[in-house]
Amino acid sequence: MKKLFYLTTALFFMMSCNQKPNSFLQNWDTPYGLPPFSEISESDYLPAIKEGIKQHSAEIQAIIDNADAPTFANTIEILDHSGELLAKVIGVMFNLSETNSSKTLNKIVEKALPLLSEHNDNIFMNPKLFEKVEQVYKNQASENLTTEQQRVLDLIYKKFIRNGIGLDAEKQTRLREINKNLSSLEQKFGNNLLAETNAFKLILEEKDLDGLPQSVREAAAAEAKSAKQDGKYLFGLQVPSYIPFMQYSERRDLREKMFRAYSSKGNNGNENDNKKIILEIMKLRIEKANMLGFATPADFILEETLAKTPQNVMNLLDKLMPASLQKAKEEVVEMQKIIDAENGGFKLEAWDWAFYAEKVRKAKYDLDEDQIKPYFQMENVREGVFACASKLYGVKFEKLNDVPIYYSEVETFKITDENGDLVGILYTDYYPRASKRGGAWMNNFRDQQVINGVDIRPIIVNVGNFTKPTPEKPSLLTIDEVETMFHEFGHAIHGLLSKCNYSTVSGTSVPRDFVEMLSQINENWAFEPEVLAMYAKHYQTGEIIPDSLVEKIKNTATFNQGFVMSELVAAAILDMNWHALTSIDGVDVEAFENQSVKNMGLIDEIIPRYRSTYFNHIFNSGYSAGYYSYLWSEMLDQDAFELFRQNGIFDPATAKSLKDNILSKGNSEDLMKQYVKFRGQEPSIEPMLKGRGLK
């Protein structure tokens, strides 16, 4: 018996010694504090989240237990800087769940979300903590706070109010349930959408490829080979596969099949159907808004934006829709003429638009995108993005090879300023895969802030779903993909150049209808001749893109903008209609959407950019009642870039003003004041209308 005891003890000791320590609970001995991805196990997440919540809760309790009179320093500053371990874990978990997910990780996130929701509510529904915050808020005049500190205090105080601190115990309990359920439902919506996108596969023979350029065929052949369908061609619903097929395929029947698959994502009556989830989400959002004193979710959400009210948003959209539709109808006439001239014998349908728009582009502007793509090798475009930022803001980029990455295609860059000081670290992750959700975005692994006098620089990721390289060719980007890369880097530079003291306001922690201004203004440089000369080099010859092609790109700047704006405005109106609901009683998702489309006057040949069942922005990605922000921000970015047009696109004084007054400021002072300091005036809608060819 004694021998058995010793053997059991020894075995337990060996197992304990062999058990890998939780990576998140160790100091990361990595360059620049980057996450050691290869050392992180999926089993690390939940224990680390629970420990992070425990530590964060202790920090909150310490604020409450402090017997000294509440001040900004001993209450607000500590609250802002708290939760370091938790931020470390969720920074990795949420980034990887979107870029390199697995069934196991998805389940972990589903388990984590209710824990995180409950923890957030425990903080912002804590009456003793709020009592301290409220005392600081009421006594702020006596503290001589900086503008940034006043802003942080105001935002944190309002966060308590908007999280239900003023509700009675029964309503707070219900609000906690709502928050938990919403987080789970929204994650489920996104998981369903990813599954739907991955599920559709159109496998073709060579005889089915009429009209498709060689580059598109090569990419489809590579996808088929990866799916063990050698000798065939695979097309899917990921944008780099879907868009070129719709642009070039002469098989109208297959274009219709692709279109119907794309436009019915999440609406197929299967286990991934999102209709019921949408209604459950909206029911809870309406209840939450009402509980907090607002008539609709839109009223609640927009209170803290530049737009302020749903009516202000609709005023903008109502100005844009008629002009967009008029332009779109003119585009329909042009395409129908081509169909009739070819004796097509049919009326233009939604699945024909991209195909015949491409024909119009070739006929009207003599522009074939396949002529241009050889000048847009991904690596060269990225160098152009970096070179443009260097010229504007004085930053330098250095490729890092021996640092941790989370996927083999990811690349890492160190950014420094004119003095050689670290600005931040940037990951780029540009190609689609089954484990990555669709679209393009920027996110942080680590926020910028100053703690104990140390400026903690951000770790940022730019993600895309661009055209993949093939065995025959490198990644050659479309015009839209080039613009998207510049767009996402606009978000990145906003985060990288942040010079704030508090994470509450640092970097991109600004309302949606302001944050997109910084990404969209960066798009303006993409196709300027001076910028194209920096990066648009033929992938085989190294020849700089000829002036004739640059002129063609310039001439097509307003091409197809009736379609682009109509589908964008339609999606924004659909979003606002969902979030203007006061009840879901009797609401059928398809009927609601169809009525919305009819009311806005959208023509049959165009659908909203995102239909409800795959509108990830508003049902999973934080843009609820906020999709309009791209248009509101475009008004800002076009008005702002007008100053560069006047002074020179690389004018040092204008670039410095943008950097000092907006890019580095985050949300540390009133956003319209930031804008006016840079621009000298409030924004006008005229440059936007002109830029879109709508005026």
Catalytic residues: 488
Residue 231 carries which side chain, given as an amino acid letter? G
d(CA 522, CA 520): 5
CA angle, 625 as apex, 114 and 195 as ends, to 5°? 55
**Pick from 591, 598, 535, 532: nearest CA to 570:** 598
Q: Which helix (H) or strand (E) holds 490?
A: helix 479-496
Residue 444 carries which side chain, given as an amino acid letter? N
Query: What is the Rg, in whole angstroms, of the alpha carbon atoms belonging to the chain?
Result: 26
On whether the CB atoms of residues 469 and 225 are closer than 8 A, the answer is no
CA angle, 302 as apex, 325 and 568 as ends, to 5°? 20
d(CA 93, CA 615): 23
On whether the CB atoms of residues 199 and 272 are closer than 8 A, the answer is yes
Per-position b or e across 98-129, b if 16+ CB within 10 A of its CB: bbbbeeebbebbeebbbbbbebbbebbbbeeb
d(CA 433, CA 100): 8
Helical ranges in 100-142 per DSSP H: 103-124, 127-138
**Collapsing DSSP states into helix, strand and coil, what is residue 159?**
helix
Max CA distance (Å), the chain:
96
Residue 322 carries which side chain, given as an amino acid letter? P
**Collapsing DSSP states into helix, strand and coil, what is residue 694?**
coil
Q: Which residues contact 163 (CB under 8 A, 6 or more apart)?
A: 120, 121, 124, 125, 175
Q: Which helix (H) or strand (E) holds 84?
A: helix 84-99
For 398-436, give the DSSP string.
EEE-SS--SSTT-EEEEEE-TTS-EEEEEEEE-S--TTS
**Pick from 619, 598, 597, 599: nearest CA to 608:** 597
On whether the CB atoms of residues 667 and 515 are closer than 8 A, the answer is no
Phi then psi for 429, rounded to 5 degrees?
A: -140, 95
On whether the CB atoms of residues 597 and 656 are closer than 8 A, the answer is no
**Pick from 686, 296, 664: nearest CA to 500:** 664
Q: How many helices (H) and strands (E) does the chain have?
A: 28, 9
Q: Which residues contact 674 (CB under 8 A, 6 or more apart)?
A: 661, 662, 665
For 33-47, give the DSSP string.
G---GGG--GGGHHH
CA 149, chain centre distance (Å): 28
Q: Which residues contact 238 (CB under 8 A, 6 or more apart)?
A: 197, 432, 438, 465
